[in-house]
Amino acid sequence: MSEKKTKRRDFLFTATTAVGAVGAAAVVWPMIDQMNPDASVKALASTEVDVSALTPGNTLTVLWRGKPVFIRRRTQEEIDEARAVKMEDLIHPEKDEDRAKNPEWLVMLGVCTHLGCVPLNDKGDYNGWFCPCHGSHYDTSGRIRKGPAPWNMEVPKYEFVNANTIKIG
């Protein structure tokens, strides 16, 4: 009895446990995955926005996937200010040219990357946005400059359908 020998029973134990574990995982996964975004939420993928009324120096806020999107028609000073910033001064280095393909139009999620509040327009130390919740300052390109937020405000996928309409998503 004392010698270690693999027996039929050991094999049965291992096989039963393995099959049981796979079965349990197969039942648990649907219970977990049901909490992920459902088909109807995913279907609301894109929004078209008419921006013809927007004059330079103003921001339009629209709702996309339950989140606010800032569409800012920037003034020349704002563009110059954003483009003059050196990369080494940035917490999350991104060129303004990459964030705003058409320099006059800045489109980004109006969601602070710290804990998800909506930053306030034309506020803060960098003339861009300021988050009232925990004090993050963003510049005129929506890049984080000061405060607890780790990243710049996210630029979603968008395109100009025509001169007056932006399609987000």
Partner 1 sequence: MSDHDYRPKSKVGQWFNDRLPLLTLANHLTDYPTPKNLNYWWTFGGILTFCLITQIVTGLTLAMHYIAHADMAFESVEHIMRDVNYGWLIRYIHANGASMFFLAVYIHIFRSLFYGSYKAPREIIWIIGIIIYLLMMAAAFMGYVLPWGQMSFWGATVITNLFSAIPLVGEGIVTWLWGGYSVDNPTLTRFFTLHYLIPFLILGLVVLHIWALHVPGNNNPVGIDVKKPSKDTVPFHPYIVIKDGFALLMFMIVFAFFVFYAPNILGHADNYIEANPMVTPAHIVPEWYLLPFYAILRSVPDKLLGVVAMLSAILILAVLPWLDTSKIRSAVFRPLYKQFYWILVADVLILGYVGAMPAEGLYLLIARVATAYYFLHFLVILPVLGFKEKTLPVPLSITEPVLGGSPNLAVARNKESKIE
**Positions 3 through 32 that interact with partner 1 (CB under 8 A):** 32
Query: Under the criterion CB under 8 A, does residue 118 sit at the interface with partner 1?
Result: yes
Judged by CB under 8 A, the stretch of 20-28, 61-69, 81-89, 98-106 that binds partner 1 is 61-69
The CB-of-32 to partner 1 minimum distance in angstroms stands at 8
Query: Under the criterion CB under 8 A, does residue 123 sit at the interface with partner 1?
Result: no
Dist. CA 122–CA 128, nearest whole Å? 5
List, as one string, the DSSP characters of 73-140: E--HHHHHHHHHS-GGG-SS---HHHH-SSTTEEEEE---TTT---PEET-STTSSEEETTTTEEE-T
State phi, psi for 111 to the nearest 5 degrees.
Answer: -130, 120
Dist. CA 133–CA 116, nearest whole Å? 9
Q: Tokens 């320099």: give the residue.
A: 103
- Residue 134 designated active-site: yes
State phi, psi for 74 to the nearest 5 degrees.
Answer: -85, 150
Query: Under the criterion CB under 8 A, does residue 43 sit at the interface with partner 1?
Result: no
Query: Under the criterion CB under 8 A, does residue 66 sit at the interface with partner 1?
Result: yes
**CB of 104 closer than 8 Å to CB of 74:** yes
**Positions 73 through 102 that interact with partner 1 (CB under 8 A):** none
Judged by beta carbon, residue 18 or residue 115, the one nearer partner 1 is 115
Judged by beta carbon, residue 18 or residue 63, the one nearer partner 1 is 63
Dist. CA 96–CA 145, nearest whole Å? 13
Dist. CA 51–CA 164, nearest whole Å? 5
Judged by beta carbon, residue 69 or residue 79, the one nearer partner 1 is 69
Query: Under the criterion CB under 8 A, does residue 122 sit at the interface with partner 1?
Result: no
Query: Under the criterion CB under 8 A, does residue 103 sit at the interface with partner 1?
Result: no
Query: Under the criterion CB under 8 A, does residue 161 sit at the interface with partner 1?
Result: no
Binding site for partner 1 (CB under 8 A): 32, 35-38, 41, 61, 63, 65-68, 114-118, 131-135, 147-150
Active-site residues, by number, are: 134
